């Protein structure tokens, strides 16, 4: 069994397009339109965004993006694990990669917005496990009962 590999992705492959469509469908089914903050394919191609995929050989296992908000802060976008790879450590590997990349870019803070519904409880647990804490809205976000905001202070984070 070969280990997972993480690659910077150009968002052109059919596998990633399908996974992102599935992600957006789930977000539309779970969150009201005014509380939906997931980026579509074109939004993920913005120059402020770096997008990675994680692979198990030739099989796509998940994806995640890092969006630069300013010189000090970045935001995690589009974290998604493929259905057949849930509970296999894919999300933790991607999150560790994103944290490392944010540190290499010398960001001081890594933030994210996620849903407040029960559907998102596993995501909350993942981020809490990796040192994130709940916080108020950041960047252009507004307080919303359907959103939870989390952040990680990168200036005092110990590497894994």
How far apart CA 85 and CA 152 sit, in angstroms, is 26
Mind spelling out the 3-state secondary structure of the chain? CCCCEEEECCCCCHHHHHHHHHHHHHHHHHCCHHHCCCCCHHHHCCCCEEEEEEEECCEEEEEEEEEECCCCEEEEEEEEECHHHCCCCHHHHHHHHHHHHHHHCCCCEEEEEEECCHHHHHHHHHHHHCCCEEECCCCCCCCCCCEEEEEEECCCCCCC
- Contacts with 106 (C-beta within 8 Å, 6 or more apart), sequence order: none
State the residue range of the domain holding 103: 5-153
Q: How many C-beta atoms surround the C-beta of residue 29 within 10 A?
A: 8
Please indicate, yes or no, if residue 21 is contained in any of the structural domains. yes
Residue 37 banded pLDDT, cuts 50, 70, 90: confident
In-domain check, residue 160: no
Tokens of 12: 């052109």
Query: Would you state the pLDDT for residue 1?
Result: 47
pTM over 0.85: yes
In a domain, 55, yes or no: yes
Strand 109-115 and strand 73-81: the pairing is parallel
- The predicted model gives 6-33 an average pLDDT of 88
What is the domain count for the chain? Answer: 1
pLDDT digits (tens, 9 = 90+) for 82-111: 999 999 999 999 999 999 999 999 999 999
- Here the CATH number for the domain that contains residue 131 is 3.40.630.30
Across the range 2-31, mean pLDDT stands at: 88
Does residue 158 sit within a domain?
Answer: no
* pLDDT at position 82: 94
Q: Convert the pLDDT of each residue in 100-155 to its tens digit.
A: 999 999 999 999 999 999 999 999 999 999 999 999 999 999 999 999 999 999 99
């Amino acid at each position: 069994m070969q280990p997972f590999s993480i690659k910077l992705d150009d968002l052109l492959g059919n596998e990633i397009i399908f996974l992102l469509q599935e992600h957006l469908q789930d977000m539309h089914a779970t969150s009201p339109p005014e509380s939906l903050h997931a980026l579509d394919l074109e939004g993920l191609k913005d120059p402020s965004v770096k997008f990675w995929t994680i692979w198990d050989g030739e099989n796509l296992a998940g994806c995640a993006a890092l969006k630069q908000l300013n010189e000090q802060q970045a935001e995690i976008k589009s974290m998604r694990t493929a259905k057949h790879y849930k509970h296999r450590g894919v999300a933790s590997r991607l999150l560790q990669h994103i944290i490392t990349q944010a540190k290499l870019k010398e960001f001081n803070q890594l933030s994210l917005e996620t849903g407040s519904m029960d559907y998102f409880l596993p995501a909350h647990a993942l981020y809490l496990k990796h040192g994130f804490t709940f916080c108020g809205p950041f960047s252009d976000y507004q307080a919303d009962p359907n959103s939870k905001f989390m952040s990680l202070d990168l200036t005092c984070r110990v590497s894994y």
